[in-house]
C-alpha cells in the first residue's frame, strides 16, 4: 500500500507572527519556516504504518515556492521514501491545492492520503475535505487513531460529543488531529540520508489545473491589544467595577 502525505511550509510555531507595514499579509522575510505541525503528525503516522508492515511506500508532496524543498527534506528525514514538489508562482489557496493533489493522486495512485487537518498559517481546514470530494473518496477528519488492514481503514475521530469510529474502504483520505501521535525527532544520520532520497520537481502549470486564486486579501491587521488587568481589594470593589466601569451587571 502506498501512502501520500501532503506537507506545507509555514512560519515556525515558535515565531511571533508580524504583519507587514502595508497590511497586505504576514511578514515572511528572514523568518524561520518549518513544516506545519499537523502535517508532521501525518508523516509520522504514515511512517508508523510502513514500519508496521501495512504500507510499502510513503510519498511526501508539497506545493509552493522552491524553498519548500526544505520541508520535503524534513519529511524524508522522518521516514518518507521520496518526495514531489509542485512549484507555483501564484498564491495557492485551498481549492487550488486540492486540485493539485488530485492530479498527483491520479499520477501516483496511492491507497491512502494522510494530511494535517489544517495549516497553522491560514487555519482553513479545507484541503482534506475538498480533495476527498474531488476524488469521490471516503474521508475521515480529525483522526486520533488509525488502523489499516484488509483493504479498509478504521479511524477514531474527535467530535464535539467525544469520539466516533468509522470504517472505510480504501482508497481514502484522512486528516490528522493533535492526539494521533507524537512526531519523532529526525536523527542526524536520517537527515544526511534524506539528502540522497529522490525529490521530483513538477511545474504546477504542467498539471493542467486552474490555480487562479478565488479570494483576494483586502487587509491583514493584528488583533487589538488587551488592557492590563487590575487587582481588587475585595468582592464589593469587584462588584462595583463590574457594575459601574464594565457595565456588565
Q: How many domains does the chain have?
A: 1
pLDDT of residue 226: 81
Three cell numbers written together for 83: 518526495
**What is the reported pLDDT for 26?**
86
Please tell me whether the peptide bond between 171 and the residue prior to it is cis, using omega within 30 degrees of 0: yes
Is residue 52 assigned to a domain? yes
pLDDT lower than 70: segments of the chain = none
Instruction: Please report, for residues 37, 41, 42, 79, 195, the alpha-carbon distance to residue 184 in angstroms, rounded to integers and kept in the order given.
Output: 12, 9, 12, 10, 18
β-pairing, 152-159 vs 162-169, is: antiparallel
**Cα–Cα distance for residue pair 121/10, rounded to 1 Å:** 6
- pLDDT tens digits, one per residue of 97-127: 999 999 999 999 999 999 999 999 888 999 9
Measured CA distances, 229 to 226, 232 (Å)? 9, 10
| Per-residue confidence (pLDDT) for residue 229, from 0 to 100 | 82
- Residue 102: predicted pLDDT: 96
Whether 249 is covered by a domain: the verdict is no
- Tell me, what's the pLDDT at 200? 94
Looking at residue 189, its pLDDT comes to: 93
Runs of H (alpha helix) within the chain = 37-51, 68-78, 94-108, 127-135, 188-194, 235-244
For 213-246, what is each residue's pLDDT tens digit? Answer: 888 888 888 888 888 888 888 999 999 988 988 8
- Supply the pLDDT for residue 248: 82
State what percent of residues in the chain have pLDDT above 70.
100
pLDDT score recorded for residue 142: 94
Q: How many helices (H) and strands (E) in the chain?
A: 6, 11
**CATH number of the domain to which 175 belongs:** 3.40.50.620
Domain-located, residue 125: yes
Report the pLDDT value the prediction gives residue 134, as an integer from 0 to 100: 96
**Residue 132 belongs to domain spanning:** 2-244
What confidence score (pLDDT) does residue 199 get?
95
Q: Which residues pair with 149 in a beta bridge?
A: 152
Contact call for residues 75 and 99 (beta carbons, < 8 A): no
CA angle 213, 219, 221 (to 5 degrees): 130
Give the pLDDT score at 58. Answer: 96
pLDDT at 114: 96
Domain assignment of residue 97, yes or no: yes
Amino acid at each position: 500500500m502506498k501512502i501520500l502525505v501532503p506537507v506545507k511550509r509555514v512560519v515556525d510555531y515558535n515565531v511571533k507572527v508580524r504583519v507587514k507595514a502595508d497590511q497586505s499579509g504576514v511578514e515572511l522575510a528572514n523568518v524561520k519556516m518549518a513544516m506545519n505541525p499537523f502535517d508532521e503528525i501525518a508523516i509520522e503516522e504514515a511512517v508508523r504504518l510502513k514500519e508496521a508492515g501495512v504500507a510499502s511506500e510513503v510519498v511526501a508532496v508539497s506545493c509552493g515556492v522552491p524553498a519548500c524543498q526544505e520541508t520535503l527534506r524534513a519529511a524524508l528525514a522522518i521516514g518518507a521514501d521520496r518526495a514531489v514538489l509542485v512549484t507555483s508562482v501564484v498564491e495557492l489557496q485551498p481549492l487550488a491545492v486540492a486540485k493539485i493533489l488530485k492530479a498527483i493522486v491520479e499520477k501516483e495512485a496511492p491507497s491512502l492520503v494522510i494530511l494535517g487537518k489544517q495549516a497553522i498559517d491560514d487555519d482553513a481546514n479545507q484541503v482534506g475535505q475538498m480533495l476527498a470530494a474531488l476524488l469521490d473518496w471516503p474521508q475521515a477528519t480529525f483522526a486520533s487513531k488509525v488502523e489499516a488492514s484488509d483493504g479498509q481503514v478504521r479511524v477514531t475521530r474527535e467530535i464535539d460529543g467525544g469520539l466516533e469510529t468509522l470504517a472505510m474502504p480504501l482508497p481514502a483520505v484522512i486528516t490528522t488531529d493533535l492526539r494521533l501521535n507524537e512526531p519523532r525527532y529526525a536523527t542526524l544520520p536520517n537527515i544526511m540520508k534524506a539528502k540522497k532520497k529522490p525529490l521530483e520537481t513538477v511545474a504546477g502549470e504542467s498539471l493542467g489545473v486552474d490555480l487562479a486564486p478565488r479570494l483576494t486579501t483586502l487587509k491583514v491587521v493584528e488583533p487589538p491589544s488587551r488592557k492590563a488587568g487590575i487587582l481588587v481589594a475585595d468582592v464589593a470593589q469587584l462588584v462595583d467595577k463590574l457594575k459601574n466601569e464594565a457595565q456588565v451587571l
